[in-house]
Structure 1
C-alpha cells in the first residue's frame, strides 16, 4: 500500500510555507545522511522516545520509533537501524532483529495511524501528507521477554506503548494521555 505513495515531503514538493530552524535542520540531516532522529526526553509526564524522519523519503522504508530508554541511547539505536536499512536490511513488520541493540533482539511492529498525531508531529509536518508507514522498535526485558509476554517485567509495558493497538483500545497510561 505505502510503496505506491509519492513523497510529498518538504524536500520533494515546493511549498509556500515559512520554515523554522528545526525544519531547516531536519531537511539538512535528510539531505546529508538520509534521515534524522527527533528526540523527546523523559519528563514528569512520562518516558522519553525518539523517531526517525527521512527513511521514507530516502529509502522508501517505514520510519522507526523507540521508547523508554535514554533519548541518546534511542538515537544511537535508531541510527544503527537506519544504517542497516540503508545497507539493504529492510524493516519488516513482526521481524525480530539482532542488529539494533548489542546482545538484545528487538521486534519491529507496525504502528496504528491513530498514534501519529500525538507522537510524530514533526514527521507529519515534514511529509505534509500522511499516511506514511511507521514501525515501533520494541526491546525486551533482561530475560528476553517482550511487553506482550505476560511474564515480562511490568515496567517494560510502562516504558513502551503498544502502538500496534489503536490508541482508543490501548490501556490507559502516559502515552494515551498525549493529545
Structure 2
C-alpha cells in the first residue's frame, strides 16, 4: 500500500514532514480539531489502518488529552493482538463507562478525515467512531446518525 510514508521528503512541506515522521516513529498520529460554529471538536487517528489493518478512529466532544489517551489504549490493544468488536459495548477503553465502535460512512470522510485521506491518498481505508453514552447511559441515536457528536465526555 502506497502512503505518504513513501513520498520523497523534499516533496512534502514542513507540516506534512512532521505528520509523516510522527506516523513513522509512533505507528500513528492523532489529529485534533477544535470546535467551531459548524460543530463540536473531534479527534481522529491516522496509521491504524496501515499498521494493523484495523479502522482509523474518530471521537467527538472529548478533551484533547483524553482523546489521545483513548487512541493509545486502542493502539496498545491492537498491538497486543486484541481487536475490539464493532457495534458491541466494551469496557476496555474507559474506566468509568462503556464505549461502542460504530462504522463511519464514506460520505463523512471529506469533512472529517482530511489528514488520513491525504496520508493514504484516497478513501480506501475504514474508520470507526468511538461512541460513549450520555449521562443517563444511553448511546443517543448513533446507530441512525454516524458521526453524530455525543454531548457527554467520559473523563
Give the TM-score taking structure 1 as reference length. Answer: 0.73
1:95-137 deviation digits (Å, cap 9, x = unpaired): 2221212211100011110000010011000001222100011
Mapped to 2, the partners of 1:91 and 1:131 lie a distance apart of 21
TM-score by length of 2: 0.84
Whether the 8 Å contact between 1:80 and 1:100 is mirrored in structure 2 is: yes
Q: How many residues align?
A: 148
Match in the other structure for 1:9? 3
Alignment of 1:159-178 (within 5 A): 162-163=145-146
Q: Which has the higher contact order (CA 8 A, sep 6+)?
A: 2
Residues 26-82 of structure 1 deviation map (CA, whole Å, 9 limit, x = unaligned): 212211111110000123332100000001111111100000122332222122222
Distance in 1, matches of 2:97 and 2:45, equals 21
Displacement of 1:142: 2.2
Query: What's the CA shift for 1:21?
Result: 2.2
Alignment of 1:20-169 (within 5 A): 20-148=13-141, 162-163=145-146
Q: CA RMSD in A?
A: 2.4
Contact 1:41–1:49 (CA<8 Å) still a contact in 2?
Answer: yes
- Kept in 1, the 8 Å contact 2:31–2:44? The answer is yes
SS at match of 1:37: strand
Residue segments in structure 1 that go unaligned for 5+ positions in a row: 1-6, 149-156, 165-169, 174-179
